[in-house]
Chain A
């Protein structure tokens, strides 16, 4: 099991009292699986994704990523785990505005310091059809291109897991398909993909889906 979320609970402190964002959720994603978490806005999808990514400590339950509980590690070790085993793709792309396409793709290598990162980055740039845009900055790219750069960045360190939060939310149909197909391919190659979305078209690319409603699993795994 590459991703295991076991009885995860997360509560925020709001102005009017505690808000339960995720309530006793169990999700697991095996190698080769592409799982979509769907649900309306505010149902706790993103919170669940951040918890799974080792970015948000849950109040209860256990997280295991590729056999390691990230929250049992120190902050620096957890960061290292994220860099080496997890790829993130976000709706807002989160590209670094002053780096060109190639440097953005290579950004995870800042942490690992790998010397072969450049070749892999160039291969990813070519794979996602960005060769002609290598020297361009994010501000000079279309939204589809930006998301492809983000996807290439997520894949640079050859992670075991990809966590994607509404990656197609800002994309047109063609670009969405391109991104989702890439995620599917990643899963088919033995990785694990946990996709958070409310886009029905995106769900079609997933092998199975999990529905969240008000922080709880609404429907059993289909």
Chain B
């Protein structure tokens, strides 16, 4: 017979004592494993929370970017429409145009060949766009006895190297006329109305709203018709254009230089206020869009930071719980096993006495008690691990990845027997050291 048989037989005989000890160890191990599992789960959940936050933030920023893009496009379009009203801000005038007279009259008086505009359109010039050749002259509207500005336009000339742009000013078809506010309003003219300007019958196609400028007394007709009415065939007296919103040190000098290469001798004027207003409007639109995007980014960052803080708080809370619960459970379990081992040793006094009398050494008695303690620890470690894992995972809710950690299982299976053996050590020593003569005399 071996001592191991004696250990197993004694466990079977005093099974309740064994079960109580196993429960004690299991509780300590379960507390540890449950705490660790919950902390691990917290880490996974927090990572998920932060990841979700990042995804949401990215989605928010992307959405906001799209919104900003859409809003920017809309704003740009609106600005374009608004600034369209501002009209062209670059005026190309004939070499001999008297600029002082031009400013005084409001209309140019000299002419240049119409093919100038084609030359400009076919050049690789990038600093201006929306080229519009016009003939314009202040005339007396004989039928109405009113001074008006007659402007002929053939519509914008597309530039060869650019994608077509939506025109600022549409082509006026032959036989048609577009009227400024002061010309149609008092006469109650509407699109479709017929009128005669200096003997030429025209149909109103569009009536502009009040602009508070010379446009209010302007009548726009087809370029060719205007040239005929004014006796200026194949001539134009201005090419209107729109400068690009390019950031350069000296914009107008650059424009002048570029145009001079194509149309040497022409004069270039910039209508400063219009250009400034247009640039400011566009820059403001961009600034607003950028600010909105930045706000979205900041909001996303705040959301992630908030989630990180929330997750950190959850983990810290679980760690704090574990810091109290686990030592309490281990100490409680240790005390419980000591108590049970003392009781067991007392119960087995007679048995140990006779075993010592018939020749069992104190080392064997120690083995007898510690062997049982190791079995208690192994069973308690295994049961405690399973219980702790179930509690931990149950408390943490469903997760996408397993929380099983072989290292913690091994730790439980090693530490629990160590705890149990340590708690049993002293009672076992006392039992092993007891004098068999005293025991036998007592009994």
Contacts and interface: CB of A to CB of B under 8 A. Distances in A.
B358 A76 contact: no
Contact of B14 (A96, A98, A111): A98
B309 interface: no
Nearest to B368: A110
Interface residues of B, number: 30
B441 A107 contact: no
Contact of B1 (A50, A88, A103): A103
B440 A80 contact: no
Contacts of A76: 361-363
Interface in B1-34: 1-3, 5-6, 9-10, 12-14
Contacts of B6: 96, 99, 110
A74 B357 CA distance: 15
Contacts of B441: 46-47, 50
Contacts of B2: 110
Interface string A60-104: 000000000000000110011111100010101011111100010
A79 B351 contact: no
Contacts of B440: 50, 55, 90, 94
B1 A110 contact: yes
Contacts of B164: none
B363 A111 contact: no
B350 to A, nearest CB: 6
B186 to A, nearest CB: 125
Contact-residue bracket for chain A: 20 to 34
B436 interface: yes
Contacts of A94: 350, 353-354, 357, 440, 443
A79 B361 contact: yes
The SS class assigned to the B binding surface is: helix
B1 A106 contact: yes
A55 B357 contact: yes
B101 interface: no
B443 A107 contact: no
A110 B364 contact: yes
A97 B364 CA distance: 18
A79 B1 contact: no
B418 interface: no
A110 B437 contact: no
A99 B11 CA distance: 11
A53 B1 CA distance: 24
Contacts of A88: 354, 357-358
Contacts of A35: none
Given A75-B361, A82-B357, A55 B436 contact: yes
B13 A97 contact: yes
Contacts of A130: none
A82 B358 CA distance: 6
B227 to A, nearest CB: 128
A75 B358 contact: no
Contacts of A117: 1
Contacts of A84: 359
B410 interface: no
B248 to A, nearest CB: 104
Nearest to B359: A83
A17 to B, nearest CB: 19
B359 to A, nearest CB: 2
Contacts of A80: 359, 361
B355 A107 contact: yes
Contacts of A109: 1
A111 B354 contact: no
Given A80-B361, A107-B355, A110-B2, 16 more contacts: A50-B441, A55-B357, A55-B437, A75-B362, A76-B362, A79-B356, A82-B357, A83-B358, A83-B359, A88-B354, A88-B357, A94-B357, A94-B440, A94-B443, A95-B354, A98-B10
Interface of A: 46-47, 50, 53, 55-56, 75-76, 79-84, 88, 90, 92, 94-99, 103, 106-112, 117, 153
29 contacts: A46-B441, A50-B440, A55-B435, A55-B436, A75-B361, A76-B363, A79-B361, A80-B361, A81-B359, A82-B357, A82-B358, A83-B360, A84-B359, A88-B357, A94-B350, A94-B353, A94-B354, A94-B357, A96-B351, A96-B355, A98-B9, A98-B12, A99-B9, A109-B1, A110-B1, A110-B3, A111-B358, A111-B360, A111-B361
Interface of B: 1-3, 5-6, 9-10, 12-14, 350-351, 353-364, 435-437, 440-441, 443
